[in-house]
Structure 1
């Protein structure tokens, strides 16, 4: 019996010893994991760490995932693979803010600084030469040197800047006013694009200081726009389509506007209001122009009534708003353009009868029956004419796409230059550069001749 009890005790002891060994091995693995969680063992611990635990201890040279920057907890905390995967997914879904790359400037900001436009050396040399040679006269240009393409519809008018010799403004049926840096590289010729209008344009004029332009058209507004910024400075609301604008030659804060209802209004830039009106049962006002002293102006109207041709061309007193004469042009033709001579007491009017007539600018404003400028075609279009700065040449567009240059003294045709495919609507001399001319046409192109 005692032998059986001792045998039983030895068997149970060996079984407990095996269980104890298994428990010890499990505790060893748990210690290894705890060591992995909490970092290196304290220096006072004399027992060597198991191999499995040593391989999981963080090394000084290895990158650590226990930073408080990542988990916001105490340094030394172990980050499991599952947590790392969750953090990676969160970083992809909500990436950390990265400095944005520079945003491309808008088209207006990418355009060159308009008022910094400079003349190229050859043009500046030419300007300096003619400034010294005061006896130099304007002549007709020899060839077309520059094509300015940017409008998508017919261009109705071009105007050189009075202060910046390289700048040219154009107004078109595509609702835009383009400011061109004429002698720049082809990809830098658009100095500014003004898109403030919602309908086709009819006219554009520079302010006397060359920093802004007035524009008008079928949207029944007149817009004053800053050239440097391209922003609107003022808007003048009309009750008619506005066909033409003219600044007073001496009082540059005042300008005239004529429109489709036959009303001519005088506006003040300072107040933004209409000062007075000039009305005499006119038809649609086609054009206006001031005398050099600013005391008078002439208006042309599209008269469709019977026996009303005496109102097609009217001379006005600017201050009194009184019509000085309406018995000026008695032929039954509309005059789409009128211009005062820069020095002599006369003005000219473009007639739909395919000629330009000459009138005296002194009462009774008689028509010169012995001299007229013939050869070009008007054909019912709004073809404009202009004088050279010295008054020796008269230039006009034509329905055949050519620019015609006439001697003012003899009325002889001096030159004919092919300018456009289709109607050439406007031709204007540069104010300071002799023999430099800009043209525009219904093909959407602005051309420069030298």
Structure 2
């Protein structure tokens, strides 16, 4: 502002005011009190939002403020000859200061030079705000921009919101329109199709026979599908795919994709719900296991296992702990509250295909691809969860790997899907003996990770097939009840609904999901 004013310490205060009045012959002269009032108006944050439009001249406004500041700091300013604006009298109505306030302000302590510069910067920022005061007399409005050296003030709450958005943009967890993400509360909605069955006692499981809907959206093989275990949220269907995404669908009514999660950089091999239905646990080939919030889609924790994760399972009595296995001889137990590895199980095998906790969570079973030429021990290994010791490795003696395991919901038994194209039954109590008189045959596995699952009452055992069919067996007599020709590609998983009778979801190697009733 050196081009507008000159500092002369030798001049008195009255002489500078007289020269300022003489420099504007075209306008009515304004007294010192009016100039003070004018400076107050410029700095007042409570200006009426819709005053008569007038664009203040930047140079003149700064000049007047210099004059007011010089009066308080006992220094004089001599303005260069330039016509002043006549808007002094036009904006007197904006000031709410009394004469007593102005007198107190005029007799305040003098300002230091840095404070004066700060006031000038503030005034420049205010004078360039898009507010007009010309009362419509000046149709050619000049839009001034904030100088490059001045940074506008941003409230703290807005700064925090901006920082959160920047962090989330690095790890996108959902790609859904903004309104749908914020307004649609999927955990508070109850499906109209599921609601009538909530008050009823669960009946006998049925067998689905006709197609209800087809869900398309995955670009790669779908490894697993799973209904939400919470009854009033059981219309939600979770799917994990090799296309690096896992999705949540409305599998009961509309068939819409409610959430798309893309927090993994590798294929999502396994996924499951937490018992509360609010979080998802996923394991991926990018070496990570992730806990995700279903409602917001945000990552709660992301843990690096340092190997490709093939399976991830929650502890049945302590859902804050989960186990991860994969392309490693180790099985790791994590506590996602502290993000620390709490236990390590060393098996000395090549990779872990599946993990199954037995009832109570005291022991668990791991399935591996370790099959020697002379003995098939260590294909299924029983572990003590607390001591990390092997309980038994002489459970299954046939030379077939077991890609998946399933626990009976009521009885003390579990089944293992084998690459021998049958499912074997084992006791879930020590010494974990296999029932050699009962086998579930008739489907093909042929090296695919075909999964098996029990119905809620334990009477029906369902399995996929490499031929694309879904097979339903009577658990007690091992008789095949029905074969559903579901897909043209290998059917990898069959998930039976926990509430709706005779309802199941299937997925295949081509990325298609179907719901049957």
How do 1:9-408 residues align onto structure 2 when only pairs under 5 Å count?
69=54, 74=86, 87=140, 107=176, 109=178, 110-111=180-181, 112-120=184-192, 122-128=193-199, 131-132=200-201, 134=202, 136-163=203-230, 164-186=233-255, 189-303=256-370, 305-307=372-374, 309-408=376-475
1: CA distance, partners of 2:491 / 2:177: 29
C-alpha distance after superposition, 1:332-385 (max 9, x if no partner): 111001112111121110010111011122222222111100011101000000
**In structure 2, what is the equivalent of residue 102 of structure 1?**
none
Equivalent pair of 2:473/2:482 in contact (CA under 8 Å):
yes
Range with bigger deviation, 249-258 or 300-309: 300-309
How do 1:429-440 residues align onto structure 2 when only pairs under 5 Å count?
429-440=496-507
Range with bigger deviation, 218-227 or 324-333: 324-333
How do 1:399-438 residues align onto structure 2 when only pairs under 5 Å count?
399-438=466-505
Of structures 1 and 2, the larger Rg is shown by: 1
Equivalent pair of 2:494/2:504 in contact (CA under 8 Å):
yes
1: CA distance, partners of 2:298 / 2:327: 27
Relative distance call for 1:284 and 1:108 in structure 2 (3 A) is farther
Shift of residue 305, structure 1, vs aligned partner: 4.5
Equivalent pair of 2:218/2:243 in contact (CA under 8 Å):
yes
Count of aligned positions:
360
C-alpha distance after superposition, 1:124-158 (max 9, x if no partner): 22443xx23x5x21121121202111211111011
Shift of residue 117, structure 1, vs aligned partner: 3.1
1: CA distance, partners of 2:325 / 2:500: 30
What SS is found at the alignment partner of 1:125? helix
Relative distance call for 1:362 and 1:68 in structure 2 (3 A) is closer
2: CA distance, partners of 1:371 / 1:359: 10
The Cα RMSD (Å) is: 2.6
TM-score (norm: length of structure 1) = 0.75
> Stretches of 4+ moved more than 6 A in 1?
none
2: CA distance, partners of 1:384 / 1:446: 15
C-alpha distance after superposition, 1:164-212 (max 9, x if no partner): 11111110011111011223435xx111111100010100111111111
Q: Unaligned 5+ residue runs, structure 2?
A: 1-25, 27-51, 58-84, 88-137, 147-173
Shift of residue 71, structure 1, vs aligned partner: 8.5
1: CA distance, partners of 2:260 / 2:346: 34
Shift of residue 243, structure 1, vs aligned partner: 0.6
Shift of residue 68, structure 1, vs aligned partner: 7.8
Shift of residue 411, structure 1, vs aligned partner: 0.4
C-alpha distance after superposition, 1:6-32 (max 9, x if no partner): xxxxxxxxxxxxxxxxxxxxxxxxxxx
Range with bigger deviation, 373-382 or 319-328: 319-328
Shift of residue 419, structure 1, vs aligned partner: 1.8
Q: Unaligned 5+ residue runs, structure 1?
A: 1-37, 39-66, 76-83, 95-104
Equivalent pair of 2:215/2:513 in contact (CA under 8 Å):
yes
Range with bigger deviation, 359-368 or 155-164: 359-368
